[in-house]
Chains A and B, each alone.
Chain A
């Protein structure tokens, strides 16, 4: 359902799925096939964030019709997402969804997230691991850090948010346009800070319970030191965005 690049003039509702990928050769092809199966009508854009492995080749040989955007060097996940949102904004998509390439996010939830977005009149819907669905449980210090963050972010965003570091989101054209301008490239900027930015621009944010699958690659960390550093950096960066002025 490609809309010929005419901004804001699309009559059909169109959906774009952004998949930021950095060295994801093992999981990217199956992830793309999953998305295509769940949402046959949606367009998919993969942003290759300067991968040094065969991610691009895997995308081309996956058999799924996708647009591949390649950044010449690694700029961080926030930068990759901003390029995806810019693409979406320029092409005037009604809904934009962001999905991790590691296969953690189940694309069959996207439809439910979009209908939730429409029914509640929200600008952004976050897929939350902790809102009831599924068996995902973070343990120990990392979990405490996440609980504290979600309390604080819920207050800033004036909504109940249980999973503020989730990279599974659906946005409407308004939130997409804001993200295409202001998505920060810094550490955690793509999750926590982007929520603060949207809230400060007056967007309505809500969440939907999703179940996440086990990561197919990479190991989540459970060390207390890492959790402490994570929490400290998160507080630092969110504080900065809290004092940022409303319209940049």
Chain B
């Protein structure tokens, strides 16, 4: 019984992850460029959970003694990459918000000076 749960649980987790991903895409909550690596991750997760031997084989190929070590190291590495790419995107966004704020300030000044001119010409 316990063995069945242990083999089925990872598949359920992978499927839940996939379903959530598809819902995010469907409801347009996730942009295209953020979907791709989650999609790849989902496929890998699904393959590993359905055929655990593939994870073992891969871990051997990378020279790990324990599959658990391979999964942990791999997971950390992928999270690191995602983290870095998010930080990069955040930096771009911050820079753009700054630029927009400057643009708005300049526009307000322009509108103010136009209003002043308008009032002066009315007087």
B25 near A240 (CB under 8 angstroms)?
A: yes
Mask, B90-119, CB within 8 Å of A = 1, is 000000100110010000000000000000
For the complex formed, measure the closest distance between the CB of A50 and the CB atoms of chain B, giving whole angstroms: 10
Mask, B10-40, CB within 8 Å of A = 1, is 0000000000001001111001110110000
In the complex with contacts A73-B96, A240-B25, A245-B27, A186-B103 CB distance below 8 A: no
Main secondary structure of the interface of A (DSSP, over half): loop
Task: Say yes or no for A184: interface residue by CB 8 A criterion.
Answer: yes
B36 near A236 (CB under 8 angstroms)?
A: yes
Please pick, from A184, A189, A244, the residue contacting B26 in the complex, using a CB distance under 8 A: A244
Using a Cβ cutoff of 8 Å, how many contacts connect chains A and B?
A: 27
Q: Please name all residues of chain A whose beta carbon is closer than 8 Å to the beta carbon of B22 when the two chains form the complex.
A: 243
- By the criterion of a CB under 8 Å from any partner CB, how many residues of chain A are at the interface? 12
Q: When chains A and B are docked, how far (Å) is the Cα of A245 from the Cα of B26? A: 6
B100 near A240 (CB under 8 angstroms)?
A: no
Mask, A232-248, CB within 8 Å of B = 1, is 00001100100111001
Chain A residue at minimal CB-CB distance from B33: A186
A184 near B32 (CB under 8 angstroms)?
A: yes
A244 near B99 (CB under 8 angstroms)?
A: no
A240 near B35 (CB under 8 angstroms)?
A: yes
Q: Which of A73, A189, A248 has the largest number of chain B CB atoms within 10 A?
A: A73
By Cβ-Cβ distance, the 6 closest A-B pairs, closest first, are: A186-B32, A72-B103, A72-B99, A245-B26, A248-B28, A243-B26
Residues of B within 8 A of A (CB): 22, 25-28, 31-33, 35-36, 96, 99-100, 103
Q: 27 A-B pairs, CB-CB below 8 angstroms? A: A72-B96, A72-B99, A72-B100, A72-B103, A73-B96, A73-B99, A184-B32, A186-B31, A186-B32, A186-B33, A189-B32, A236-B32, A236-B36, A237-B32, A240-B25, A240-B32, A240-B35, A243-B22, A243-B25, A243-B26, A244-B25, A244-B26, A244-B28, A245-B26, A245-B27, A245-B28, A248-B28
